[in-house]
Amino acid sequence: MIGSLDSTVPYRWPYDGDLDPARLALVVAGAQAGWAARSRRAADVGIVLTTVASAVHAAGAVVVGVRHTVLPGRRPVAVPPLMGHDDWALAPHVPPCDLVVDAYGVDGFHGSALDDVLRARGIDHLVLGGFGHEAAVDSTLRSANDRGYECLVLTDGVAPFDVDLGAHALHSVTMSGGIFGAIGTSADLVAALRQPLEALS
């Protein structure tokens, strides 16, 4: 057992104090060329996510990429790329993923196998990052929270379409004592995941 992260807001994450890699996944939402091309700081966020993914893999946890598309005849406000289109392909900024899940909407759980895949592996703690923060990442976060997952959003691991809207999306996570989970930095998470490995060396 690793414990919990000290500097996350508004509470120490995870709430149960058990940062167990066997229960943990990094979920990269909006993991596509189209989302990344429209997002601010995409290249910087890609570097952050690659660093986090490396630490997650080293600790024995998994990385899941989510591709979003639309059902025929549907046009959501934040239009995901059409399946098979160049924009639908994984972005070059996306770190190596253990699994790639296709969702039919902005929410990564909608019409996808994401919930089944996570539960089959005993995963109930999610670290979220990705592109199109205030659309793909935020919608996936809220859906994950509704399903009972304990969620952490990486403040430096999300690339928004609009900087102000991205800031509002992060703030909304912390409202009411952490209504959707907690927010924290990649450095804090990576340091926590490396503690057991350093103790063994």
What is the CATH architecture of 21-200?
3-Layer(aba) Sandwich (3.40)
Q: Which long-range contacts (CB under 8 A, 24 or more apart) does 168-171 make?
A: 168/134, 169/133, 169/134, 169/137, 169/138
pLDDT tens series, the chain, 201 aa: 577 788 999 999 999 999 999 999 999 999 999 999 999 999 999 999 999 999 999 999 999 999 998 876 665 556 688 888 888 899 999 999 999 999 998 999 999 999 999 999 999 999 999 999 999 999 999 999 999 999 999 999 999 999 999 999 999 999 999 999 999 999 999 999 988 655 444
pLDDT at residue 200, rounded to an integer? 41
Instruction: State the burial class of residue 72 (Cβ atoms within 10 Å of its Cβ: 0-12, 13-18, 19+).
Output: exposed
